Amino acid sequence: MRLTAFTDFGLRTLMYLASLEEDQLSSVAEVSGVYGVSRSHMVKVIGQLAKSGYVQTIRGKNGGIRLARQPDLINIGDVIEQLENHLDGVDCVTTSCQLAPCCELKSALMKGMQAFIEAMRQYTLADLIVNKRQLIPLMSAG
């Protein structure tokens, strides 16, 4: 299973926000700078995280972004499911395939994807930032 860059940066954004003090706000520009990602791409990532209820966006002069929930309430498997747009594994649904009537590939890949998501459901965002003291300087170095 290979995650898209969109999901990768979504998870990294959540980790970054979780490493901040509880009421500290960040910004799209700040997160973009930390990970070396274009601002426009990060706007899309953070927009989806906000739409999914993981990030709170605050408008205005003193606005910014922060986690909408405590890190221990953000399930990694759920985040991946929200952000990934291709958990099918294969493109059997949108294209016609002559093997479709008897092929078991899609079923096997779906079982693998489900196992991956279930494994990721064993983790929360809090689990990913357990080494918070070591993470913060590394994030600041970007």
Across residues 63-79, what is the average pLDDT? 97
State the pLDDT at residue 89.
56
Q: What is the pLDDT of residue 93?
A: 57
What is the rounded average pLDDT of the residues 27-50?
Answer: 95
Q: Provide mean pLDDT across the span 60-73.
A: 95
Q: Which phi and psi angles does 107 have, rounded to 5°? A: -60, -45
Q: Helix/strand/coil (H, E, C) string of 32-66?
A: HHHHCCCHHHHHHHHHHHHHCCCEEEECCCCCEEE
Query: With 80 as the cut, is the pLDDT of residue 129 above it?
Result: yes
Residue-level pLDDT at 105: 80
Within its chain, how far is the Cα of 98 from the centroid?
Answer: 35
Higher pLDDT, residue 5 or 130? 5
Task: Look at residue 125 and tell me whether its pLDDT is greater than 90.
Answer: yes
Average confidence score pLDDT of the chain: 88
Signed CA dihedral, 82, 87, 88, 91: sign only: positive
Is 80 exceeded by the pLDDT of residue 86?
Answer: no
**Domains of the chain as residue ranges with CATH:** 5-140 (1.10.10.10)
**Integer distance in angstroms from the first to the last C-alpha of the chain?**
27
Evaluate if residue 60 carries a pLDDT over 60: yes
pTM of the model: 0.86
